A and B are shown apart, each in its own frame.
Chain A
Amino acid sequence: MLKVRVIPTLLHKSFGLVKGVNFDSRRAVGSPMQAVKVYNLRNVDELVFLDVTATTEERGPDLELIDELADECFMPLAVGGGIRSVDDVRALLGVGADKVVIGTAALRTPDVVREAAERFGSQCVVVSIDTRDDQVCTKSGRVPTGRDPVDVALAVEELGAGEILLQSIEADGVMNGYDIETVARVSAAVSIPVIASGGAGTFAHMADVLRDGGASAVAAASMFHFTERTPMEAKHYLAEQGFPVRV
């Protein structure tokens, strides 16, 4: 049986990892290489690495850094932040990313999603949909688009996205639980996997969004950075609750 995945999210800004609240007031939480090595030892299901200031600073992905990180990653690695073109996608896959996470560009220049899926296959194209007040935002949550998350999800599925990383800006960093309602609406509408992100504070939050939201995977950052809880403990808990996990 296909397992539900527990995915630590690493947010990167300039020289280190950060974690904030509501996509803002981010504080430093360590070096990316150290985090990748730890998660590799801990056998996590997958890693998501997002360069959260690339797009707002109008620069592309840091290929040199991704190359180094990918060399230590014997688990799947999804990389996002600053992807503007199919050339960026090719370059990231070339240095060892298994998937790319396209955010702002998916709304601004949707052809990037289509072309990337056609050339490299849908399976490596993840589209990040960031929501606040039931509408999709771009540029790291700064620019509201007025579009409904379900409409955007259906549109990017049609373009060839293979997976959706659905992030709630309101729930981000608050650790009070995922935005189950939006996850449920999106995952019911599409037939590609949906990764729920934003709001995990306890393992029960993960179980809730898997059961009531229909998510295929749960991502978490603050919970793993700021508490003693580990991805493996999360999976043991989920196993006890009857979810298929890899332990």
Chain B
Amino acid sequence: MAVQRVAIVDYGMCNLDSVRRAFEEVGARPYVTDDPGDLDAADRIVLPGVGAFPDAMHNLRARGLDEALAKQVWEKGAPFLGVCLGMQLMAAVGQEVEPTEGLGWIDASCVRFVATETDRRVPHVGWNEVTPEAGSILFDGIPPGTDFYFVHSFHVVCATAEQVLATTPYCDGFVSAVRREQAFGVQFHPEKSQRWGLHLLRNFLAA
């Protein structure tokens, strides 16, 4: 297989370097860009990010990246992976700080965790189990219930089960991965989840 060119979208929300390094490690040729025109050259697109939902959407729009991403992913069919905030932005609406329109690729909203008696600490920080839908390409070869690394206060709530790709037990359970066609989103950090995280990135390169 030819070396995959992976565009890592820079919209001023950090943690790009870890994601770039992880894709290098699994044999892809990643490049970081904030230029919508650069996305044409990509075989695959990754939207990473940490930070607040409204700032992120504002930055994407200000650079014309929201439209460029939609064009690449939904007109040209580029495989897409949203990581953490990048997954949350795939939702229709985010409730962080103030209600904000997201990319709207997934019929979902992004809300803050509500602590429970057993899970009383927010943010949700650390390693927790991810149980994917059976037969998922993204989780191919990864044992169900494998621990991945999470660090987040908000999570996605899907309107229908159809776009739910994986769940994780915290605060009564939440959606830890989504899928719509060739667009995936993961709430955890594969780039920081060691062996199985890199395995998932390899799966994405093959998806």
Contact = CB atoms under 8 A, between A and B. Distances in A.
Interface stretch (B1-9, B73-81, B193-201): B193-201
22 contacts: A2-B126, A2-B127, A5-B127, A67-B17, A70-B17, A71-B21, A73-B192, A74-B22, A74-B198, A75-B149, A76-B151, A90-B14, A93-B14, A96-B17, A119-B52, A122-B153, A123-B125, A162-B123, A191-B120, A192-B121, A193-B123, A193-B125
B153 A121 contact: yes
A123 B115 contact: no
B181 interface: no
Interface string A1-36: 111110000000000000000000000000000000
Contacts of A192: 121-123
Q: Classify the secondary structure of B's interface with A.
A: mixed
Contact of B50 (A4, A74, A75, A120): A120
A94 B90 CA distance: 23
A98 B15 contact: yes
Contacts, number: 113
B109 to A, nearest CB: 18
Contact of A70 (B18, B121, B149, B189): B18
B126 A123 contact: no
Instruction: For the complex of A and B, list the 8 residue pairs with the smallest distance between their C-beta atoms, beginning with the closest.
Output: A93-B14, A96-B17, A123-B151, A246-B127, A3-B127, A246-B147, A123-B123, A162-B123
- Chain B contact residues (Cβ within 8 angstroms of A): what range? 35 or more
B50 A124 contact: yes
A216 B149 contact: no
Nearest to A195: B125
B25 A74 contact: yes
B194 A43 contact: yes
Nearest to B15: A93
A162 B125 contact: yes
A123 B153 contact: yes
Interface string A159-184: 00011000000000000000000000
Contact of B14 (A76, A94, A118): A94
B143 to A, nearest CB: 13
A51 interface: no
B121 A191 contact: yes
A193 B85 CA distance: 20
A79 interface: no
A99 interface: yes
